[in-house]
A and B are shown apart, each in its own frame.
Chain A
Amino acid sequence: MKVEQDLPRQRIETPQNLRTFLEALKKERPDDLLVIDKPISPIHEMNALLVELENRQRYPVVLYTNTVNHYGQKSAFPVLANVFASRARNSWVMGSTSERIPFDYYKRLQHPVDPVVIPSEAAPVHEVIEQGDQVDLLKFPIPVHHEWDPGPYITAGFVTMKWSDNRGYNDGLHRCFIRDKNTMLSFFSPAKHDWYILEENSRANRPTPVVVWLGHHPGAYFGAQAKAPIGVNEYALPGGFLGQPMRLTPSVTWGEEFLVPADAEIVIEGVIYPGEQGVEAPFGEYTRYYGEQRYNPVIHVTAVTHRRDAIWQDINVSHADNHVLGGFALEAKVFEAVHQYVHGVKAVHLPLSGCCRFLCYISIHKQTEGEGKLALAAALPVDSRIKYVIVVDDDVDVFNEAEVLWAFATRTKLPEDSITITDIIGEGLDPMAIDTEKSSLINKVGYDATKPVETGFAEKVGWPQEIVEKVKQLENYVDRATLGRLPQD
């Protein structure tokens, strides 16, 4: 792994960032961008509106241009949200398709691109630099997402730390509660990489430098949210998705000792002191439940830097914007794990109904008995959040839940076609997890809904292919207006 002094100083003609994404979106998918220029409050209203759109099956990127800050003053900063809410739009960003995302995501992760360093004077994120008493996070129109949330939260910020001994950077998409103008609190799940970094530093009684960066090209988010092994420089992961190295620049607080993304909209630098914790939450989690109030590490902000006309990027946590983004990485991990044992993996889908975490559907081209359960055995341990896996044949569309449940209903005989793992480490935020002193325990169940290969099985009803194609042209039978009036069930 390269350390800072080895990183190349390279010129990139058109650096990818949030603005290049928005320009491409306006040009190629103009209907995907909804600009709300009516006054809107960051307190609950922005996120409630996104949920109302979602309830109507609409998932546009939303730019709020008429906002107020936390002093009740008109804000100079717009808020952008819902960037990741649409699987189709994300696949467009990735140059993939909805079905192929996990495969392409996996491939891109195999090709990290070392970042490059540019001087501070050339870094867009250093157009405005505020340090010490100048720092005021409350000047931003940071959303308060849910009724029980105690205040504004950063939800699209990558909390970045460094391993000691030059083992590279680690970043994670963590919420940050804005306690006041220059302190934040963040939650670090036990046994995750950043938790280990904090533990290491705490044992050595040294402060932990922390950087929170937000507002970047979605490709940077796809790469940065990947779960990489310890020792991988996670600043190298966005490059595989951006098609170019990520540009970094020395931080204001630590200089070249800690580099920050030069093309982000906003960077917040701070320090966590060993053992210092404060009260935080409840907070509306991705599970769609409130997580409980707890004590979490305090981040003392040393500097805030941003573009002059910075856009505050938000993720509508607890809904599709949050779910879909996190789902790809898990789908890629499931594909990677199952593919080692079952070569006929056709598709992997973690649906919105399971928050793109708890439920997983896999289709395989089954060639021999036992492959369905082999796929289950490989998939269930992939991540602590995956609780239920259904494996189906490749004649079932895993993106159509009605089809998956039909296969489950008609191709399983329980309990023989299931496997259960009891009392395995699960996700602490899962409301059904049973907490022990140091971990949260859950049960995992896998269902093999594939047909037997070696014995006869009923055939699905069907029609000749030419008839299926012919009736797809419904307008040849029913005029558009009549079709539009037909009630939907």
Chain B
Amino acid sequence: MPKVFWVQCPHCQRKYYVSVSLKGKNLDLMCPFCKQMFKESESLWTK
């Protein structure tokens, strides 16, 4: 199975990846670039 899924920060629009073990868990994610918190459902794009 894939190890990661990509997200796009709704605050600064930058993209990075997250462990697939967090997928669908509605946990807080932290954008490493702008440090804002957001949920997977708020990500502007996922892959």
Using a CB–CB distance below 8 Å, which chain A residues touch chain B? 148-151, 279, 281-282, 290, 292-295, 431, 433-436
Contact = CB atoms under 8 A, between A and B. Distances in A.
B16 A433 contact: no
Interface of B: 1-4, 16-22, 27-33, 35, 37
Nearest to B30: A279
Nearest to B4: A292
A436 B19 contact: no
Contacts of B4: 292
A293 B21 contact: no
A293 B1 contact: no
B22 A295 contact: yes
Given A279-B27, A435-B1, A435-B3, A294 B32 contact: no
B45 to A, nearest CB: 16
Given A279-B27, A279-B29, A292 B17 contact: yes
Contact of B28 (A149, A151, A279, A433): A279
A431 B4 CA distance: 10
Given A279-B27, A279-B30, A282-B32, A290 B17 contact: yes
- Which one of B16, B31, B33, B35 has the highest number of Cβ atoms from chain A below 10 Å of its Cβ? B16
A260 B26 CA distance: 39
A282 B27 contact: no
Contacts of B35: 150-151
Nearest to B28: A279
Contacts, number: 47
21 contacts: A148-B16, A150-B31, A150-B32, A151-B35, A279-B27, A279-B28, A279-B30, A282-B17, A292-B3, A292-B4, A292-B17, A292-B18, A293-B16, A293-B17, A293-B19, A293-B29, A293-B32, A433-B3, A435-B2, A435-B3, A435-B20
A430 to B, nearest CB: 10
A170 B17 CA distance: 32
A438 to B, nearest CB: 11
Contacts of A431: 3
Contact of A292 (B19, B27, B31): B19
A464 B30 CA distance: 66
A293 B3 contact: no
Contacts of A279: 27-30, 37
A428 to B, nearest CB: 8
Contacts of A293: 16-19, 22, 29-30, 32
B27 A148 contact: no
Contacts of A436: 1
B47 to A, nearest CB: 13
Contact of A150 (B20, B27, B28, B30): B30
Identify the 5 closest CB pairs spanning chains A and B, nearest first: A150-B32, A294-B19, A293-B18, A292-B4, A292-B19
Contacts of A151: 35
A282 B30 CA distance: 10
Contacts of A150: 30-32, 35
A294 B21 contact: yes
Contacts of A433: 3
B3 A282 contact: no
Contacts of B20: 435
A408 B35 CA distance: 48
Contacts of B33: 148
